[in-house]
Amino acid sequence: MNLYTPIEEIPRVGLIYQKKLKKLGIKDVRDLFFHFPHRYEDFSKIIPISKAEAGGPFCFQGEILDIKNIYTSRKRMVLTQATIGDKTGKLKVIWFNQPYLINTFKKGNYVCLAGKIAKKGSAKYLSSPAYEKISPTSDIQHPTSNLTHTGRLIPVYPGTEGLSSRWLRFIVKPLLIKLKNQISDSLPEKIRKKYDFLPLEIALWQIHFPDSLKLAKEAKKRFAFEELFNLSLFVLRERLKLAREKAIPIPLNLALIKEFIKSLPFKLTAAQKKSAWQILKDLEKPRPMNRLLEGDVGSGKTVVAMMAALNAAKAGFQIAFMAPTEILAKQHFQELIKFLKNFNLDIGLLTGKEDKFFSRKLKNEAIEISRKKLLEKTKKGEIDILIGTHALIQDKVKFGNLALVILDEQHRFGVEQRAKLVGSGTETKIKIPHLLSMTATPIPRTLSLTVFGDLDLSIIDELPKGRKKIITKIVQPKDKKETYNFIRAEVKENRQVYVICPRIEPVKTSPENLDGELSQQVLSWMEVKAVKDEYQKLSKEIFPDLKIGMLHGKMKTQEKEKVMKDFKDKKIDILVSTSVVEVGVDIPNATVMIIEGSEKFGLAQLHQFRGRIGRSDFQSRCFLFTDAPGPVTNRRLRALLSCENGFELAEKDLVIRGPGDFSGSRQWGIPDLTMASLTDVFLVEKAREEAREILQEDPELKKYPLLRERLGEFGKRIHLE
Interface positions with ligand ADP (CB under 6 A):
266-269, 272, 295, 297-303, 440, 464, 586
Identity of residue 699? P
Minimum CB separation of residue 274 from ligand ADP in Å reads: 12
Please state the closest distance from residue 255 (CB atom) to ligand ADP, in A. Answer: 21
DSSP state string for 593-612: EEETTGGGS-HHHHHHHHTT
DSSP letters along 449-467, please? HHHHTTTSEEEE-SPPTTP
Alpha helices per DSSP H over 209-297: 213-244, 254-263, 270-283
Q: For the CB of residue 581, give the shortest distance to ligand ADP in the complex, in Å.
A: 17
How far apart are CB 293 and ligand ADP at their closest, in Å?
A: 9
Q: Which amino acid is at 449?
A: L
Closest residue to ligand ADP, judged by C-beta, is: 300
Question: Residue 136 or 265: which CB sits closer to ligand ADP?
Answer: 265
Identify whether the C-beta of residue 171 lies closer than 8 Å to the C-beta of residue 155. no
Smallest gap from residue 271 Cβ to ligand ADP (A): 9
For residues 4 and 266, which CB has a smaller minimum distance to ligand ADP in the complex? 266
Task: Name the H helices within 298-444.
Answer: 301-314, 326-340, 371-379, 415-423
Minimum CB separation of residue 268 from ligand ADP in Å reads 5
Report the alpha-carbon distance of residue 532 to residue 539 in Å, rounded: 10
Give whichever of 26 and 564 is closer to ligand ADP, judged by the CB atom. 564
The C-alpha R_g of the chain, in whole angstroms, comes to 30
- What is the C-alpha separation between 512 and 518, in angstroms, rounded? 15
Q: Which is nearer to ligand ADP, 230 or 605 (CB)?
A: 605
- Least distance CB 460 / ligand ADP (angstroms): 7
**Least distance to ligand ADP from the beta carbon of 613, Å?**
12
Q: Which is nearer to ligand ADP, 299 or 674 (CB)?
A: 299
CB closer to ligand ADP, 462 vs 685: 462
- Give the DSSP letter of residue 501: P
**How many angstroms separate the CA atoms of 231 and 217, rounded?**
21
Write b or e for each residue in 206-233: b if 16 or more Cβ atoms lie within 10 A of its Cβ, otherwise e: bbbbbeeeebbebbbbbbbbbbbbbbbb
**Phi, psi of 151, rounded to the nearest 5 degrees:** 70, 15
- Of the two residues 37 and 611, which places its CB atom closer to ligand ADP in the complex? 611
Nearer to ligand ADP, 303 or 497 (CB): 303
When the beta carbons of 376 and 462 are compared against ligand ADP, the nearer one is: 462
Q: Is 622 helix (H, G, I), strand (E, B) or coil?
A: strand
Closest CA to 3 of 125, 177, 182, 262: 182
The 3-state secondary structure of 273-306 reads: HHHHHHHHHHHCCCCCCEEEEEECCCCCHHHHHH
CB of residue 712 to ligand ADP, shortest distance in Å: 36
